Amino acid sequence: MLQVYLVRHGETQWNAERRIQGQSDSPLTALGERQAQQVGERVRTLGITHIIASDLGRTRQTAEIIASACGCGITFDPRLRELDMGVLEQRFIDTLTEEEELWRRQLVNGTPDGRIPQGESMQELGERVRAALQDCLELPKGSRPLLVSHGIALGCLVSTILGLPAYAERRLRLRNCSVSRVDYQESQWLAPGWVVESAGDVSHLDAPALDELQR
């Protein structure tokens, strides 16, 4: 059985300001750095052998903090980037027009072909993050990887493992520096392949972690 841990990056300045990040970037806040340190403290005894992270700045920062606790190297994989949110990136959520808010809501309300102009669809996102996860099966036997990615990207990945379409209504909350785990296994009582062991655990954090839509 292969166990893969999934970690969302720590809180960023734009998370705190309720700005849309997508594949644009902002640095971790002091709270975000502390959250990453607490993830490192939690996972350092789990035998993590590989850390694979999105190549965006906020995931790089988070991965580097976790890697320092685990004592292992980092590989950066652009397939683990957040959803490309096109023309709405860097915008404050509260300043969107009615039409722009409709574009944004289509990413979370189950619209099959929803996308922000010049951005990416959930189906495109799902295909690339699932491919990144699938490549973990090529790691040496006995590996225990940890992937550092983003809220929408990881939510889409977990949802597709559960058999939902990539564009399904978004109903899984993955807060900053939450830890999830998926396993690749064979079981008499579960479908073969990837299964969800846990999702969105923040019990290791000493302060409430906020998601990108709730402040």
Question: Does 21 carry a binding-site annotation?
Answer: yes
Question: Does 200 carry a binding-site annotation?
Answer: no
Radius of gyration of the chain (CA): 16
Catalytic residue (choose from 41, 64, 82, 120): 82
Query: Which pair of structure tokens corresponds to residue 210?
Result: 């906020």
Look up 50 and say whether it is catalytic: no
Question: Does 1 carry a binding-site annotation?
Answer: no
Question: Does 18 carry a binding-site annotation?
Answer: no
How many CA atoms within 13 Å lie on the side-chain side of 195?
Answer: 13
Question: Does 170 carry a binding-site annotation?
Answer: no
Query: Which pair of structure tokens corresponds to residue 155?
Result: 């939510």
Look up 82 and say whether it is catalytic: yes
Question: Does 152 carry a binding-site annotation?
Answer: yes
Own/partner contacts of 89-93, CB < 8 Å, gap of 24 or more, are: 89/20, 89/21, 89/22, 89/23, 89/24, 90/14, 90/19, 90/20, 90/21, 90/24, 91/19, 91/20, 92/17, 92/18, 92/19, 92/20, 93/18, 93/19, 93/20, 93/213
Question: Does 85 carry a binding-site annotation?
Answer: yes
Question: Does 90 carry a binding-site annotation?
Answer: no
In 3D space, the residue among 72, 156, 85 whose CA is nearest the CA of residue 116 turns out to be 85
Query: Please, which residues bridge with residue 149 across strands?
Result: 8
Question: Does 15 carry a binding-site annotation?
Answer: yes
Question: Does 115 carry a binding-site annotation?
Answer: no
Binding residues for substrate: 8-15, 21-22, 58, 60, 82-85, 104-105, 151-152
Binding residues: 8-15, 21-22, 58, 60, 82-85, 104-105, 151-152
Could you list the active site residues? 9, 82
